[in-house]
């Protein structure tokens, strides 16, 4: 219960607008503010000797504590109803027991304002009911002066002090409430703006995805269909079978890239702690078996005891794409082809570098390298999704990636991951 009560004092998720939880936050803050102000009023009362009974201040404090406890238990609506009823009751008795020129009735205006805000549009009938109740209490107090507190009169000095105190508190509370509403609205508008930007990005990517995916899936199928026709004309040849297998492999890789893209977009982040060297060695061992080109030497410079906390499936996709790309675009004219993988921790970050001495990437094409379906070389048989998925996966786990490459000399990718995200 204590944990839930403490959590409700914090701002909840920024994307939910003036939700029930947000109004619960506002309720708690207003209750705490009233609790503090009751103490201030008690000091003023003692200073000017207005002879207000101590029971009033005790009642207000008790109301605040009860409302806080009920709110903390998650009974938000009940807390608002009980709190507003008791608050209106106390305000009515204070207003009916003293002249209106002390300004105490101003707080009943605040009570009506607060009721409409706390209940919101979804529960507007409750808000309207409490507003009408407050107005009725104000009118009754003005005309009948019937109160549980004996009617009191004040000197001009006491009246002036009470009026200034009530006016100041009235202004402070309403300014604070207005500020809170503006702040919450700003957060909502900012969240909506981010959502709209994400939707625009998603729509653009979806258009490109549908166009490119349909093309990249049809191309291998058309090729396979043609090769099958050739195989029928020359049944004794096995070359066509190998070519068909190559096209199937390309299609399979493309489909796996699509699955990785979909999984990254829709799967929740799951944090776990693991040894980075073991993950890298596993990826390297699998990729070594699939080497179709000349041999590439792997240099893994990662401490076997290095542990990091991250989303393992996403990080595995990142490393697999970077290392397989380094293999794919190694330079067959170099006898000393290598792929160097390094990792270390620096301050609150984990640094990872995948470096090769392959064919490199043209400087003019490097700004587009992480775009969807972009291929930096004509010799590429990939989907053009690999590096895009790398960047999107890293964004999910708050990581960054940078590229340095020179044609004919090689490429270096540098990944930075926060230790906490």
Nearest to 277 by CA among 301, 299, 304: 304
Which residues contact residue 243 at a Cβ distance below 8 angstroms, ignoring those fewer than 6 apart? Answer: 223, 227
Check residue 367 and report its DSSP letter.
Answer: G
- Helix (H), strand (E) at residue 40: helix 20-48
* pLDDT digit string, tens, across residues 195-219: 888 777 777 766 666 655 555 566 6
Following DSSP, what letter does each residue of 276-319 receive, concatenated?
A: HHHHHHHHHHHHHHT--SS--EEEEEE-TT-EEEE-HHHHHHHH
- Using a 10 angstrom Cβ sphere, with 0-12 exposed, 13-18 middle and 19 or more buried, the burial of residue 37 is middle
- The pair of three-digit structure tokens given for residue 91, joined into one six-digit string: 């305000």
* pLDDT digit string, tens, across residues 351-404: 999 999 999 998 888 888 888 767 666 555 556 778 888 998 899 899 999 999
Q: Cα–Cα distance between 173 and 33 in angstroms, integer?
A: 8
Q: Cα–Cα distance between 295 and 288 in angstroms, integer?
A: 9
β 400-406/297-302 pair status:
unpaired
Angle at which helices 106-119 and 156-233 pack, to 10 degrees? Answer: 10
What is the Cα 199 distance to its own chain's centre?
A: 15
Under the banding of pLDDT at 50, 70 and 90, the label for residue 341 is: very high
As its CATH architecture, domain 271-418 has 2-Layer Sandwich (3.30)
- Number of other CB atoms surrounding residue 384 within 10 Å: 17
* pLDDT digit string, tens, across residues 243-262: 777 667 666 666 776 677 66
Any idea which of 228-232, 297-301, 346-350 has the lowest mean pLDDT?
A: 228-232
* pLDDT digit string, tens, across residues 70-86: 877 878 788 888 878 87
Q: Cα–Cα distance between 282 and 341 in angstroms, integer?
A: 13
In a 3-state reduction of DSSP, which class is residue 356? Answer: strand
- Helix (H), strand (E) at residue 297: strand 297-302
Domain boundaries, the chain: 2-196, 271-418
Any idea which of 14-18, 138-142, 166-170, 327-331 has the lowest mean pLDDT?
A: 14-18
């Amino acid at each position: 219960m204590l944990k839930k009560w403490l959590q409700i004092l914090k701002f909840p998720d920024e994307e939910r607008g003036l939700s029930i939880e947000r109004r619960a936050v506002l309720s708690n803050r207003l209750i705490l503010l009233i609790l503090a102000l009751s103490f201030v009023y008690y000091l003023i009362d003692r200073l000017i000797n207005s002879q207000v009974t101590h029971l009033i201040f005790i009642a207000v404090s008790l109301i605040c504590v009860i409302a806080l406890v009920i709110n903390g238990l998650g009974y938000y609506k009940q807390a608002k109803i009980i709190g507003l009823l008791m608050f209106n009751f106390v305000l009515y008795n204070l207003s009916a027991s003293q002249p209106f020129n002390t300004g105490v009735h101003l707080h009943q205006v605040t009570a009506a304002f607060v009721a409409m805000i706390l209940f919101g549009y979804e529960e507007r009938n409750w808000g309207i009911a409490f507003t009408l109740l407050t107005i009725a209490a104000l009118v009754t107090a003005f005309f009948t002066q019937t109160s549980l507190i004996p009617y009191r009169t004040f000197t001009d000095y006491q009246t002036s002090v009470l009026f200034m105190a009530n006016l100041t508190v009235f202004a402070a509370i309403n300014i604070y409430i207005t500020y809170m509403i503006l702040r919450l609205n700003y957060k909502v508008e900012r969240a909506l703006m981010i959502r709209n930007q994400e939707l625009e990005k998603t729509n653009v990517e979806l258009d490109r995805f549908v166009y490119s995916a349909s093309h990249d899936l049809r191309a291998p199928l058309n090729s396979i269909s043609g090769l099958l026709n050739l195989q029928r004309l020359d049944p004794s040849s096995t070359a066509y079978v190998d070519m068909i297998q190559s096209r199937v492999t390309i299609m399979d890789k493309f489909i796996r890239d699509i699955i990785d893209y979909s999984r990254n977009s829709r799967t929740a982040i799951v944090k776990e702690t693991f040894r980075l060297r073991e993950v890298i060695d596993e990826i390297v061992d699998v990729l070594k078996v699939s080497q179709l080109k000349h041999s590439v030497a792997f240099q893994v410079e990662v401490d076997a005891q290095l542990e990091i906390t991250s989303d393992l499936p996403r990080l595995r996709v990142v490393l697999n794409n970077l290392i397989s790309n380094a293999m794919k675009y190694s330079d067959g004219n170099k006898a000393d082809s290598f792929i160097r993988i390094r990792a270390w921790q620096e301050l609150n970050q984990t640094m990872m570098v995948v470096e090769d001495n392959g064919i490199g990437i043209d400087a003019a094409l490097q700004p587009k390298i992480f775009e969807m379906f972009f291929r930096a070389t004509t010799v590429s048989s990939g989907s053009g999704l690999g590096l895009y998925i790398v960047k999107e996966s890293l964004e999910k786990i708050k990581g960054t990636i940078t590229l340095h490459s020179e044609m004919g000399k090689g490429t270096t990718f540098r990944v930075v991951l926060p230790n906490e995200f």
